[in-house]
């Protein structure tokens, strides 16, 4: 594999709403321009359990031209109109954690689900904007309990598509920040500690061997 950008929505899903870059939790998942009936049809078509691959950027020490690694992943479109990625793996972002003590604590943390609200904006193929909710990890550093929070970009930065003809499911999400104890003064994914990151993730059930 080469660079993850080669996979970032090679499946042809491009957000149609205005460019609004938002960070953090979302309190609205409006379905842009679709009727209630269309939304219901899209949801019924997508509902179910899926297995596939998570693609994320990671340098291969044996091949400097290989910037992508993969993990087995499972997700569900649930009855409460949410996408749930079961046991989201810390490996997808650990290489970017700049504090070695925090990195070690996160390595030992129990994986937790990534819950994602979504809103449809197209019916053929089905396309949707994703609103990943912040993941909170309970960790311990030097005997003291802490909470590490992983935040994502959403709207045009996180979106997906679903092909009803072959149940091909694709999603892109982008990690923005890692905070500690609800303080946003330091982003532990950046050497400078300030600003927002851009770590892309691709979820797909497509056969990557082709």
Is 41 part of any domain?
yes
Asked if 113 and 87 touch (Cβ cutoff 8 Å), the reply is yes
Q: Does residue 124 carry a pLDDT above 90?
A: no
Is 209 part of any domain?
no
Please, which pLDDT band fits residue 2 given cuts at 50, 70 and 90? very low
Is 108 part of any domain?
yes
Mean pLDDT score, 71-97: 93
Is 164 part of any domain?
yes
Q: What is the pLDDT of residue 61?
A: 63
Q: What is the pLDDT of residue 27?
A: 44
Please, which pLDDT band fits residue 164 given cuts at 50, 70 and 90? very high
Q: Which residue has the higher pLDDT, 13 or 123?
A: 123
Question: What's the rounded Cα separation, in Å, for the pair 210 and 155?
Answer: 30
Is 19 part of any domain?
no
Q: Does residue 66 carry a pLDDT above 80?
A: no
Is 18 part of any domain?
no
The total domain count for the chain is 1
The strand ranges marked E within the chain are: 22-23, 48-57, 68-77, 82-88, 112-123, 126-132, 135-141, 144-154, 159-163, 168-180, 199-204
Question: How much is the pTM?
Answer: 0.84
What residue numbers bound the domain in which 161 lies? Answer: 4-12+26-204
Is 210 part of any domain?
no
Is 17 part of any domain?
no
Q: What is the pLDDT of residue 73?
A: 96
Q: Which of 62-76, 123-137, 155-169 has the highest mean pLDDT?
A: 123-137
Q: Which residue has the higher pLDDT, 137 or 1?
A: 137
């Amino acid at each position: 594999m080469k660079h993850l950008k080669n996979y970032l929505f090679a499946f042809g899903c491009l957000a149609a709403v205005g460019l609004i870059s938002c960070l953090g939790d979302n309190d609205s998942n409006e379905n842009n321009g679709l009727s209630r009936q269309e939304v219901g049809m899209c949801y019924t078509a997508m509902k179910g359990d899926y297995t596939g691959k998570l693609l994320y950027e990671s340098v291969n020490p044996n091949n400097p031209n290989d910037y992508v690694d993969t993990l087995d992943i499972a997700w569900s479109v649930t009855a409460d109109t949410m996408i749930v990625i079961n046991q989201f793996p810390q490996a997808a972002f650990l290489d970017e954690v700049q504090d070695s003590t925090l990195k070690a604590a996160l390595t030992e943390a129990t994986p937790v689900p990534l819950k994602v609200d979504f809103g449809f904006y197209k019916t053929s193929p089905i396309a949707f904007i994703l609103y990943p909710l912040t993941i909170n990890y309970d960790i311990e550093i030097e005997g003291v309990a802490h909470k590490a929070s992983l935040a994502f970009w959403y709207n045009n930065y996180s979106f997906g598509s679903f092909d009803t003809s072959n149940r091909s499911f694709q999603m892109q999400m982008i990690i923005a920040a890692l905070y500690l104890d609800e303080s946003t003064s330091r982003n532990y994914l950046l050497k400078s500690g300030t600003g927002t990151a851009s770590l892309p993730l691709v979820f797909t059930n497509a056969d990557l061997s082709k």
